[in-house]
Amino acid sequence: MEQAPRHGQRGTVLLAEHDVLVRMPIAQYLRDCGYKVLEAVTTEEAIEALEDRRFDVGAVISSIQLAGDGFGIATWVKQHSPHTTMLLTGTPKRAVDAAAELCSDDALPTRLAPQLLLQRILQMLATRRPPAQEGRTAML
């Protein structure tokens, strides 16, 4: 049987979700899968975590309904940290096109299976550009 990776061994994920009942089980699941998970409740908290040089956040998962504007965090990531992959959850149908322009992949529903989320994170991190290529203007 394969041994589970140690906490944080797989990388760092920022989970920005205002609903504690959604955020806590997803964060715990990702920790159990070997990720270091930073949690944020607002866009401002998420940006503070991304600006903190102690963390190399490889992926951001944010609710579109995040306090302070879920699209705001996606826009910030695209402009200031293009090597970081971005995934929005809970995106209303009318916002799917905007999410596609800002994120690595299509939007996911808020109430998603943790295994599906893990699969998406693995895909996102596998295609992540290293920070040295940050100056490029390619779409995420």
Query: Which range, of 35-39, 59-63, 98-102, 124-128, averages the lowest pLDDT?
Result: 98-102
Q: Where are the domains of the chain?
A: 12-123
pLDDT in tens, 20-69: 988 999 999 999 999 999 999 999 999 999 999 899 999 999 988 887 77
Mean pLDDT for all residues in the chain: 77
- pTM of the model as a whole: 0.65
pLDDT at 126 over 60: yes
* Between 99 and 73, the higher pLDDT residue: 73
Output the pLDDT for position 40.
Answer: 95
Query: Which range, of 1-10, 21-30, 43-52, 73-82, averages the lowest pLDDT?
Result: 1-10
- Rounded to an integer, the average pLDDT of 123-133 is 70
Q: What is the 3-state secondary structure (H, E, C) of the chain?
A: CCCCCCCCCCCEEEEECCCHHHHHHHHHHHHHCCCEEEEECEHHHHHHHHHCCCCCEEEEEEECCCECCHHHHHHHHHHHCCCCEEEEECCCHHHHHHHHHHCCCCCECCCCCHHHHHHHHHHHHHCCCCHHHCCCCCCC
Please give the CATH number for the structural domain made up of 12-123.
3.40.50.2300
38 close to 58: Cβ distance less than 8 angstroms: no
Q: Which amino acid is at 76?
A: W
* Between 20 and 111, the higher pLDDT residue: 20
| Residues across the chain | 140
Output the pLDDT for position 135.
Answer: 42
Q: Provide the phi-psi class of 12: left if phi over 0, else alpha when psi is between -120 and 50, else beta.
A: beta
119, exposed or middle or buried, with CB in 10 Å at 0-12, 13-18, 19+?
exposed
> Which tokens sit at 54?
């102690």
